[in-house]
Amino acid sequence: MRFFIKREPRGIMVVDWDNLQFGLDPDELNEASVIGGFDKIVKIIAREFGEIVDVFVFLPPQAAYTWGETLYKLGFYPIVCPKVMPKEENKEKDTVDNTLIELSRSLIANIKDLSFFCLVSGDRDFNPIIRKVMRRGLKIIVVASSLRSLSRHLLPPKTDRTYIFELANPE
């Protein structure tokens, strides 16, 4: 006779900080609104989908300087992504997207008991992550600052495993 231990649903959340701010009113962006907004969305996701075991926030150095302590107090992992100057180009390149994609791929591949993956961004550059999550059979949760900031190219096909939330109005 075999016994199976039923595992509670668990997931991870990755946040593209710059994209998150893109759709929000900069005058309303303060510590209380950030804490309140994340608290609300994390509680909704935990209630509907299961425990969020880790939250990784990818942000450039200046944003990390401004918001790092607040994010750390929330129990999130701020991941500082510097701008780099490729040899072939004359302008700095943002490393947030590439860093988020590479770490997400690693997390999805190596954490065996995940049941969902939450992406907080509306950026179409993360479509490869959505496809990887779908191949793995996980539930996909996309949170955008507003529906107008959500790229139509990022939207996963509508299935019983895909969910879209608007940070401005998560319910």
Domains defined for the chain, CATH in brackets: 10-166 (3.40.50.1010)
SS3 label, residue 66: helix
User: How many whole angstroms separate alpha carbon 93 and alpha carbon 58?
Assistant: 15
* Predicted pLDDT of residue 103: 95
On whether the CB atoms of residues 154 and 124 are closer than 8 A, the answer is yes
Q: Are 101 and 14 in contact (CB under 8 A)?
A: no
User: At residue 79, does pLDDT exceed 80?
Assistant: yes
Asked if the model's pLDDT at residue 162 lies above 80, the reply is no
What is the pLDDT, as a whole number, of residue 38? 83
The pLDDT tens digits for 127-159 are 889 888 888 889 988 888 767 667 666 666 666
Task: Evaluate if pTM is beyond 0.75.
Answer: yes
Average pLDDT of span 16-33: 73
Q: How many other β-carbons are positioned within 10 Å of the β-carbon of residue 8?
A: 8
